[in-house]
Structure 1
């Protein structure tokens, strides 16, 4: 089952935007285990938009995106048309991304160029510095073909609704498999040494080995 939430990239970042996404995450956490959050991201800010957020709002936005990124279930983004601003930043915090054939990415930007938020951090980690460097430093758009080649999106479809339904059906089978743990291990992989990562991976393996068929963690003494 999918539960949608719309992120409108035309809107400036505000306390209301942060509150809405925070409330959506609350709803997801209280929903049945097979509920998959689906972010519908569209729109990009008009050039020279005068409404700039306060740094406290930026901090809260980054924290709620991190909360989305650490959900204990897989997340999906659906992209249509031109998208930028907060829409791109939300997209980069999801696991699986389906794009329409008319999708076109506009890097989050302000009057002084590309916005130096954590979207840059996620792009560099997910795409690679060399593959995204020119777009970040000099701006410009990224076509859906380029976005697919750079793994910014995972699938391009003429029928986004059908592709999204298929993705949700697939991801429903991943519920209960410590999605959040595996995601975090991958996120840490680019910044953690082998020795530091080993203990975390062993702990994750131990947790998986101690799960019963229903996905509940068994008592360690009972396993022994």
Structure 2
């Protein structure tokens, strides 16, 4: 092929690629607010989550007990906060993101501890974006479900917060373990730096077995202790 012909082909290919690249960039920018919504939710930054919504946003939440509808960013985020705000552990375990026509589709699954119970929740959300932020939310919720490992065996959760050994953590740990049947497990959630080091040693000293440790993004640590005696 003559050099001029090759250059013409290259030029045609490049011309074809430019609109595709531009379209990809536009699609990415359109998805950014949706991705940001999930990031803020995972961080439980409810103030900025509300700011990402249009002031007159509308939401429909299809929950296990039925449909709920809310108008206005404050009412919408208040309902979301009621689900997740009090959880002592709140971990994003998986998520997906896609476009369906002009709508943004996001799904997420969180592993949470609420009222001492470890649970899973999955939600599928469609978002409509506008010039002032997210204008519409359609959400389908699984409800809070016991994690399979919890449902399969006797596991209890002790959220120690920032309690340390100087605050009576050792005594409370012994009391909590006494309520666990032999062969059962106690998940202890701690945030005190010293407790992270001292609690496993204490558990072993008492003849119990550490089966796992899990670090969380917020600096807390979950130590799972199996009662041996």
TM-score normalized with structure 1 length: 0.23
Q: Which has the larger radius of gyration?
A: 2
Give the TM-score of the pair, scaled to structure 2.
0.23
Greater helix content: 1
- Which one scores higher on RCO, CA 8 angstroms, separation ≥ 6? 1
Normalized per residue, the structure richer in strand is 2
